[in-house]
């Protein structure tokens, strides 16, 4: 380990709240391209931080490093999940986690992620339009991937109730009813 990192780590061990040491060590790792150490530093800081927004951003940045520079998709997935636990409205973490799950073909986990995120965002009083978009995606998953029109209709209906301009959701539900012979 180089002397600069050793000295800054020692400072952080003595006082974990030493913001100057944290910032200097972060800049040092970025400067020398030590992505693994930078990801560890960000994750450790996020775990300790009482600031939900800042912690979510740090988890997201660590996830980006794990997914990109370190090619560790499993760790990236966990870090994005941690970001969303701290701030369910962290859009980038939500999109990145969704992309990883889609890329892995893990449709069941993707549905769980979307349901959990929609619930968390609704509890956090997110924009109804954003929550509706998640329910629209869930409706599409249940209709096309799981072949569960009953659950698809529930999500399409919830999407339309949250955002009355989401005509595609009501149209999709109507087509499911029509295919089942329920014209009413």
Angle formed by the axes of helices 107-123 and 91-104, nearest 10°? 160
What pTM, to 2 d.p., does this model score?
Answer: 0.84
pLDDT at residue number 175: 86
**What are the helix (H) ranges across 33-126?**
35-48, 52-67, 73-86, 91-104, 107-123
pLDDT string in tens for the chain (184-residue length): 789 999 999 999 999 889 999 999 999 999 999 999 999 999 999 999 999 999 999 999 999 999 999 999 999 999 999 999 999 999 999 999 999 999 999 999 999 999 999 999 999 899 999 999 999 999 999 999 999 999 999 999 999 999 989 888 888 888 887 887 776 6
184/134 Cα distance (integer angstroms): 27
């Amino acid at each position: 380990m180089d002397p600069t990192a050793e000295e800054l780590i020692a400072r952080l061990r003595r006082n974990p709240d030493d913001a100057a040491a944290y910032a200097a060590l972060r800049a040092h790792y970025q400067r020398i391209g030590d992505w693994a150490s930078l990801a560890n530093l960000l994750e450790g800081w996020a775990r300790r931080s009482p600031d939900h927004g800042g912690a979510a951003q740090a988890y997201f940045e660590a996830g980006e490093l794990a997914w990109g520079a370190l090619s560790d998709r499993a760790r990236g997935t966990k870090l994005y999940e941690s970001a969303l636990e701290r701030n369910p409205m962290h859009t980038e973490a939500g999109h990145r986690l969704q992309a990883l799950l889609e890329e892995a073909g893990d449709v069941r986990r993707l549905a769980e992620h979307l349901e959990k995120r929609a619930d968390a965002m609704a509890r956090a009083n997110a924009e109804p339009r954003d929550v509706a978009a998640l329910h629209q995606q869930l409706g599409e998953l249940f209709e096309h991937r799981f072949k569960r029109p009953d659950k698809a209709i529930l999500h399409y209906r919830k999407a339309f109730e949250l955002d009355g301009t989401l005509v595609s959701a009501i149209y999709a539900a109507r087509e499911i009813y029509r295919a089942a012979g329920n014209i009413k």
